[in-house]
Structure 1
Amino acid sequence: MRIDYHTHHERCGHAVGKLEDYVLQGIRSGLAQIGLSDHMPLLHVKPEDYYPEMAMPMEELPRYVEEVLELREKYRGQIDIRLGLEGDYIEGYEEPIRAIIEAYPWDYVIGSVHFLGTWDITDYRQTAGWEGRDRLRTYEQYYDAVIKAARTGFYDYIGHIDVIKRFGYAPEQDVTHLEDAALQAVAEAGMAIELNASGLRLPCAEMFPGPRMLKRAHELGIPVTIGSDCHQPERLEQYLPEAREALREAGYSQLLTFRDRKRFPIPF
Structure 2
Amino acid sequence: MRIDYHTHHVRCGHASGELEEYVQKGIEIGLVQLGLSDHMPLLHVDPAAYLPGMAMPMEELPCYVEEAFRLQQKYKEQIDIRVGLEGDYIEGYETEIKRIIDAYPWDYVIGSVHFLGEWDITDYRQTDGWKERDAYEVYRQYYNAVIKAAHSGFYDYIGHIDVVKRFGFKPERSVDHLERQALEAVKAAGIAIELNASGLRMPVNEMFPSRRVLAYARELDIPVTIGSDAHQPERLAQYLDLAVDELKAVGFNELATFKQRKRLMVPIGF
TM-score (normalised: structure 2): 0.99
For residues 29-64 of structure 1, give each alpha carbon's deviation from its aligned partner in whole angstroms, at most 9, with x where no partner exists.
Answer: 000000000000010001222201110000000000
2: CA distance, partners of 1:138 / 1:212: 20
1: CA distance, partners of 2:70 / 2:90: 30
Who is 2:56 aligned against? 56
- What SS does the aligned partner of 1:31 have? coil
Whether 2:26 is the aligned partner of 1:26: answer yes
1: CA distance, partners of 2:229 / 2:50: 22
1: CA distance, partners of 2:140 / 2:49: 26
Who is 1:182 aligned against? 182
Q: Which amino acid aligns with 1:196?
A: N
Return the offset for 1:165: 0.1
Who is 1:191 aligned against? 191
Who is 2:267 aligned against? 267
1: CA distance, partners of 2:132 / 2:120: 16
Who is 1:86 aligned against? 86
For residues 218-266 of structure 1, give each alpha carbon's deviation from its aligned partner in whole angstroms, at most 9, with x where no partner exists.
Answer: 1001000000000000000000000000000111000011000001110
2: CA distance, partners of 1:38 / 1:88: 10
2: CA distance, partners of 1:80 / 1:207: 26
Q: Which amino acid aligns with 1:239?
A: Y
Whether 2:134 is the aligned partner of 1:144: answer no
In structure 1, the gaps of 5 or more residues are: none
Superposition pairs of residues 98-117 of structure 1, within 5 angstroms: 98-117=98-117
For residues 183-235 of structure 1, give each alpha carbon's deviation from its aligned partner in whole angstroms, at most 9, with x where no partner exists.
Answer: 00000000100000000010000000000000000100100000000000000
Who is 1:158 aligned against? 158
1: CA distance, partners of 2:180 / 2:142: 13
In structure 2, the gaps of 5 or more residues are: none
- What SS does the aligned partner of 2:172 have? coil
Give the number of aligned pairs. 268
Who is 1:232 aligned against? 232
1: CA distance, partners of 2:48 / 2:63: 22
2: CA distance, partners of 1:19 / 1:50: 25
2: CA distance, partners of 1:201 / 1:2: 21
Q: Which amino acid aligns with 2:124?
A: Y
1: CA distance, partners of 2:50 / 2:219: 40
Who is 2:209 aligned against? 209
- What SS does the aligned partner of 2:48 have? helix
TM-score (normalised: structure 1): 0.99
Who is 2:69 aligned against? 69
- What SS does the aligned partner of 1:172 have? coil
List structure 1 runs of 4+ shifted beyond 2 angstroms: none
Q: Which amino acid aligns with 1:207?
A: M
- What SS does the aligned partner of 2:86 have? strand
Return the offset for 1:161: 0.1
Q: CA RMSD in A?
A: 0.5
Identity of aligned residues (%): 69
Which range is displaced more, 127-136 or 223-232?
Answer: 127-136
